Amino acid sequence: MGKKVTVVGAGFYGSTTAQRLAEYDVFETVVLTDIIEGKPAGLALDLNQSRPIEGFETKVVGVTTGAGGEGYEAIEGSDLVVITAGLPRKPGMSRMDLLEVNAKIVRGVAENVAKYAPNAVVIVVSNPLDEMTALAQAATGFPRHRVLGQAGVLDTARFTHFVADELGVPVRSVKTLTLGSHGDTMVPVPSQCTVDGKPLSDVMPAAKIEEIVTRTRNGGAEVVALLKTGSAYYAPSAAAARMARAIAEDSGEVWPVCAWVDGEYGISGVYLGVLAELGATGVRRVVETPLTDSELAALKEAAEAVRSKQSDVAGL
């Protein structure tokens, strides 16, 4: 049997994620769900009609789900579930402003995922990301390695794009890294960044690196301010789909993701942005990377900032 992946939420993030997953042509089925009547079915029909042109065989199935869990039978047997349900930001909002409303949505979705796809690996992308990942794990009751969040792949891609653009080099010659939270305590890690294998600090002045680090930290808000009606989805969906593919293919690739940290970096008991090896079981292991003293201090600060907020979501 081929692999089955479900994307919950057929808004901008969910529909573009479903498209990318289908176009990879490695899944047998992509299920796309939403609470809006007809929308997921319409998008699925449209995506399926692109198959002869794009040349993929994956079938997309669109399903409207009800408040009582109606329709969720369609996700049965999913190897993976990507949760994109929830409101996006408007200009001037922080991701934390979405906490209460998205907590209710993500909890409801997670409970249905636990019921209908009890063996799935869950990738959470709804914001605020670190809190929603912790909440989804609590609400599903899944082992922590089977619930992870998407943030670092996106934040790192933004960082890489800015560096490549500034230097006028191909994105493939740039390697960057961000750890920490998907928010104010994001920890860009310049000491691990390279351009054609050379340290970033050798090819870019410190002030420019700092400017790019700040722009990366505000990367989502910059797009929200321009769009005015929602948040980014092309780069975010590329990130989520890539993680889903690594897990579906049991690839062992190492990506920065929001994962449960249990002793690594001297930090325990919190979902945090770290490097992790991905495979069929979700997070195979957290991979520690060398950090400078100030980067490690910033990572510990990020862990404490999200720890208290993650314990708060248990009551939402």
How far apart CA 244 and CA 128 sit, in angstroms, is: 20
Residue nearest to ligand APR (CB): 11
What are the backbone angles phi and psi of residue 236, rounded to the nearest 5°? -60, -45
Q: What's the half-sphere exposure (Cβ side, CA atoms, 13 Å) at 270? A: 26
Catalytic residue among 4, 20, 182, 217: 182
Residue among 153 and 203 whose Cβ is closer to ligand APR: 153
127 binds ligand APR (CB under 6 A): yes
Q: Which among 32-40, 41-49, 138-146, 183-191 is the span making contact with ligand APR, rule CB under 6 A?
A: 32-40
Structure tokens belonging to residue 121: 């690996």
Answer for the pair 47, 18: CB distance below 8 angstroms, yes or no. yes
Contact status: 74 vs ligand APR (CB under 6 A)? no
Does 62 engage in binding with ligand APR (CB under 6 A)? no
19 sits near ligand APR (criterion: CB under 6 A): no
Among 44, 74, 85, 257, binds ligand APR (CB under 6 A): 85
Cβ proximity to ligand APR, 66 vs 252, nearer residue = 66
Q: Which window, 43-51, 121-129, 195-203, 288-296, contacts ligand APR (CB under 6 A)?
A: 121-129
Instruction: Find the shortest distance in angstroms from Cβ 232 to ligand APR.
Output: 7
Nearer to ligand APR, 126 or 181 (CB): 126
In the complex with ligand APR, the residue whose CB is nearer, 129 or 267, is: 129
For the CB of residue 40, give the shortest distance to ligand APR in the complex, in Å. 9
239 binds ligand APR (CB under 6 A): no
Terminal-residue alpha carbon distance, the chain: 38
Active site residue 182: yes
Residue 219 near ligand APR by CB under 6 A: no
How many CB atoms are closer than 10 A to CB 141?
A: 11
Q: Does 69 bind ligand APR (CB under 6 A)?
A: no
Instruction: Verify binding: residue 58, ligand APR, rule CB under 6 A.
Output: no
Contacting residue, 10, 224, 248, 274, with ligand APR by CB under 6 A: 10
Contact partners, residue 26, CB within 8 Å, separation at least 6: 3, 58, 245, 248, 249
Q: Closest CB to ligand APR among 180 and 220?
A: 220
Tokens 């979501």: give the residue: 313
Candidate residues 180, 188, 236, 279; the one interacting with ligand APR per rule CB under 6 A: 236
264 binds ligand APR (CB under 6 A): no
Smallest gap from Cβ 293 to ligand APR, in A, equals 33
Cis peptide before 128 (omega within 30 of 0): yes
Q: Nearer Cβ to ligand APR, position 61 or 204?
A: 61
Give the pair of three-digit tokens for residue 240. 């989520």
Contact 244, 253 (CB under 8 A): no
Q: Which residues are catalytic?
A: 182
Residues that bind ligand APR (CB under 6 A): 8-14, 33-36, 65, 84-89, 98, 102, 105, 108-109, 125-127, 230-231, 233, 236
